[in-house]
A and B are shown apart, each in its own frame.
Chain A
Amino acid sequence: MAAPTTVDLSDALIAAPVPLAHWLAILPVAHCITLGAVLLMLRGYPRVQAWLAISGLAGLALIDAALLAKVAAEGPLTMVMGRWLPPFGIAFTVDLFGALMTFTAALAALAGGIYALADIGQSGRRYGFFPLLMLLMAGVTGAFLTGDIFNLYVWFEVLLISSFGLIILGSEREQIDGALKYAVLNLIATTLFLICVGILYAAFGTLNMADIAARARDLRGTAPLMTLASLFLLAFGMKAAAFPVNFWLPAAYHTPRIVVSALFAGLLTKVGIYALIRVIVMLLPVERAELSPLIALAAAATIVVGALGALAENDIRRLFGYVVISGIGNMLAGVALGGVSGLGGISGAVFYALHSMVLMTALYLAAGEIARRGGGFSLSALGGLYRQSGGFTALSLVLFLAACGLPPFSGFWPKVMLVKASLDSGAWWLAAAILVGGFLTTIAFGRLFLLVYWRPAAMVLAPSRANWRTGLPLAALTALVIGFGILPERLLALSQSAAAGLVEPGAYLHSVFPGGAR
């Protein structure tokens, strides 16, 4: 704190307004929070509220698309709150990784919002489904866009409290039971994250991510960075449901309304993975390399445990919950491989996360459609869906094949990247775990398809009318899955440059400190 009595304040006294384009960095979050508040005031008008929420989510997708286009064209974008110079002001720094994740999350949320028109009835809407959904999106979006690690914690809490509201929507016994476990374990995980932030602040004296990344080099050797990296790994692993700390997910994700399950499966665990990649790969790369064997072990265990769990379940929603866990294992494998062998690991994890957001949302929405048509979620009772609707069967098959990682759908490419990266770096057992996990998942989905679609129904199902509110989001997400699978080049290039931006964060740092780090 010993400073000269006169300092050059010219940098801090800029009165020029923020360039209009920079507002794009904060606009998605501001949009969500404002709309959430407005929707809360409209709770007496469920119809207006629903349509305003849908158009708001569509607007969010448009804003995120504009942000992604800008970031892809011009590189990372920073806006500092109140024009306080970084590292003192809270910075929103959007790089390609964050922009890609935000945009995909907005698409998944839009699909979920449309599906909710059919799934969430009057009482659910009066209870606040749509305002909570918008606030959940505010938390998710904020977590993807922020450039300040304490601010990341705040967004985690925003999305957590909204998710609590969503998970107990309906207040059934199962929901209370699932919600209690979900709430306690996730709260402990975020508190663990706050502990990490406290220790990090004690060691670095700063909370700005770009500043941390720049200073980590000098502090290596004096500060307990390994301890920090391990704690971060545990905290975010818990949020993401990685193997030894994954048990809250199957205990809770089958209890809420199906559209809530879909959004949770699509978005929340991916926020954990995002934060893990952001902190471990970008801020503490040397420690990541050190921890790599441990992460790889956890990844392999997560993949196999998830796939085995999927084989053992009778309830479709719980089966899908284990598929979510297995997918988390694949992304962790990418984190473990890192950027050593040609960025394959990180870009594979980024691609997998984007694919997984779309696919997991679609899978749970398909589960809802199965229940609407077949009258339940139990593998032992369902049957005869193929006879009832060939179109829905084809659509489900696409999603199932994508979840197994079979070509030509979107799950295939990230797995290819991850297997190639693990073989390149000599981790044959990690490649084997990814492939065995894919094989076991294929068996689980094959049995599901056989039983639910091909097996003759116990009684003849009444022909179910297609409903655009459920059909449109499912079809749109499936189209994305097919599109990513057949034309992966654009997304591949994007996730590769996102990974490059994480491994070499020079552009990110420059966007926060245009004059060079202090």
Chain B
Amino acid sequence: MMEPLLSILVGLFFAAAIYLLLSKFSIRIVLGIAILGNAVNLLLFTGGRLTRGVPPIIPAGLETLPVGAANPLPQALILTAIVISFSFLAFLLVLTYRAYQDLGTDDTNDMRAAEPDDRPQPPLGY
């Protein structure tokens, strides 16, 4: 019963992330990526099915998990994904700030240092 609710939340996260990603300002794009990472973490969590109460620990005397135990694998996946997205976010923040310093703008339409508008055409004759 928790799954539909969380699915809707994941959808809202994705909507917010995509809205921010469509912006032309680099800092909003970075914020969008941060939200996107969290949306995916929630998706992984929901994808592993949600159960309450029974921790995934095999009790003494048994050889398998009790019925209805939580699935531990999504937590391992999410932990990996959190670490990765956190480090990438740190890198992106520095890169965005550096781009703002060096290029003097946070508007991606004006970031034309690598592809200037007045690039020469290739020669047409010998």
A contact residues vs B (CB 8 Å cutoff): 1-7, 9, 150, 154, 157, 160-161, 164, 168, 171, 173-181, 183-184, 187-188, 191, 194-195, 197-199, 201-202, 250-252, 254-255, 311-315, 378-380, 447, 450-451, 455
Q: Are B126 and A450 neighbours in the complex by a CB distance under 8 Å?
A: yes
Q: For residue A191, which residues in chain B have a CB less than 8 angstroms away from its CB?
A: 33, 36-37, 40, 85
Per the CB 8 Å criterion, the residue count for chain B at the interface is 49
- By the criterion CB–CB under 8 Å, are A201 and B44 in contact? yes
Partner-A contacts on B (CB < 8 A)? 21, 26, 29-30, 33, 36-37, 40, 43-44, 46-49, 62-65, 67-69, 73-74, 77, 80-81, 84-85, 87-88, 91-92, 95-96, 98-99, 102-103, 111-115, 119-123, 126
Known A-B contacts A4-B64, A7-B64, A191-B37; A380 and B123 likewise in contact (beta carbons under 8 Å) = yes
The answer to whether B126 touches A173, judged by C-beta atoms less than 8 angstroms apart, is no
B120 adjacent to A251 (CB under 8 Å)? no
Task: Specify which chain B residues have a CB less than 8 angstroms from the CB of A180 in the assembled complex.
Answer: 26, 95-96, 99, 111
Q: Are A3 and B65 in contact (CB under 8 A)?
A: yes
The DSSP consensus for interface residues of chain B is: helix
Are the CB atoms of A176 and B33 closer together than 8 Å?
Answer: no
Would you give the shortest CB distance from B35 to chain A, in whole angstroms?
11
Measured between C-beta atoms, what is the minimum distance from A273 to chain B in Å? 23
Hey, which chain A residues are within 8 Å of B21, CB to CB?
A: 188
Please determine whether A455 and B126 come into contact, CB atoms closer than 8 angstroms: yes
- Contact B111–A164 (Cβ < 8 Å): no
Q: Give the complex CA separation of A450 and B115 in angstroms.
A: 25
Determine the chain B residues whose CB is within 8 A of the CB of A451 once the complex forms: 122-123, 126
Whether A168 contacts B95 by the Cβ 8 Å rule is: yes
Which residues of chain A have C-beta atoms less than 8 A from B64's C-beta? 3-5, 7
Q: A187-B92, A380-B123 are in contact. Are A194 and B81 (CB under 8 A)?
A: yes
What are 25 sample pairs from A and B whose C-beta atoms fall under 8 A apart?
A1-B67, A2-B67, A5-B63, A7-B64, A9-B63, A154-B84, A157-B88, A164-B95, A173-B113, A176-B103, A176-B113, A177-B114, A180-B111, A187-B92, A188-B33, A188-B36, A191-B40, A194-B40, A197-B44, A198-B77, A201-B77, A250-B115, A252-B114, A254-B114, A380-B120
Taking a contact as CB atoms under 8 Å apart, the answer to whether B47 and A177 are in contact is no
CB distance from B57 to the nearest CB of A (A): 13
Cβ–Cβ contact A179 & B95, under 8 A: yes
Contacts of B46 in A (CB 8 A): 202
Distance (Å) between the CB of B47 and the closest chain A CB? Answer: 3
Complex Cα spacing A3 to B58, Å: 12
In the complex, what residue of chain B is closest to A450 when comparing beta carbons? B126
Chain A contacts for B120, CB-based, 8 A: 314, 378, 380
How distant is B50 from chain A, measured CB to nearest CB, in Å?
Answer: 11
B33 with A161: CB separation less than 8 A: no
State the Cβ distance, A131 to closest chain B Cβ, in Å.
Answer: 16
Check A7 against B48 for contact (C-beta < 8 Å).
no
* CA of A173 to CA of B110, assembled, Å: 13
Which residues of chain B are near A2, meaning CB under 8 Å?
67
Measured CA separation A322–B45 after assembly (Å):
40
Q: Give chain A residues whose Cβ lies under 8 Å from the Cβ of B67.
A: 1-2
B95 and A313: CB pair below 8 A? no
A414 to B115, alpha carbons, bound, how many Å?
33
B122 adjacent to A313 (CB under 8 Å): yes
A161 to B91, CA, bound (A): 9
Q: Across the interface, which residues of A come within 8 angstroms of B80, CB to CB? A: 150, 154
Question: How distant is the Cα of A150 from the Cα of B81 in the complex, in angstroms?
Answer: 10
Whether A183 contacts B91 by the Cβ 8 Å rule is yes
Q: Which residue of A lies closest to B42 (CB)?
A: A198
Q: Which residues of the other chain, A, contact B88 by a CB distance below 8 angstroms? A: 157, 160-161, 187
A164–B36 Cα distance when bound, in Å, is 20
